[in-house]
Amino acid sequence: MVRYDHEAGLAAVPMPAIMHSLFSRRIVPSFIVDVSDFVEEKMKSIRAYGSQFYKADSAEPVTRISERGFIEEIESRMQYFGSLIGVDAGEPFYVREALNVDDPLALLTRPMNIYS
């Protein structure tokens, strides 16, 4: 990271657009990625952190991920977002900034499902 100093004559460094993986229930996704082929691998990775999730006898404070049903919520939301694009499982992302697309034809004519 470089501090921009307009007096030093350095060119400004443009910041890249940042996409966020969504878990908020209130944000509409900018795009959804078909993750149908990776559901088992994703869930296996998440379950590797089993000590963080719901345990009926836990004395720890309850958090979003330690609530009963959190794992099922992840699976359900993948199915829901997948249904929006006509696949078994989808992962939503949000981009706050406008995307600069050089070639809209290349973007929109590649194979994909568009349901909206």
Q: What is the pLDDT of residue 85?
A: 92
Q: What is the pLDDT of residue 83?
A: 95
Q: Is residue 30 part of a domain?
A: no
What are residue 94's phi and psi, to 5 degrees?
-125, 135
Q: Is residue 64 part of a domain?
A: yes
Q: Is residue 40 part of a domain?
A: yes
Q: Over its length of 116 residues, how does the chain's per-residue pLDDT go in tens digits?
A: 455 566 777 676 666 667 677 666 678 898 899 999 999 999 999 999 988 888 888 888 888 888 899 999 999 999 999 999 999 999 998 888 888 888 888 877 766 665 54
Cβ contact 2:11 at 8 Å = no
What domain range is 92 assigned to? 36-116
Q: Is residue 29 part of a domain?
A: no
Domain count for the chain, please give it. Answer: 1
The Cβ of residue 91 has, within 10 Å, a number of other Cβ atoms equal to 19
If we measure between CA atoms, which residue out of 23, 21, 19 comes closest to residue 73? 23
Q: Is residue 42 part of a domain?
A: yes
Burial class, 73, CB count within 10 angstroms (exposed 0-12 / middle 13-18 / buried 19+): middle
Q: Is residue 55 part of a domain?
A: yes
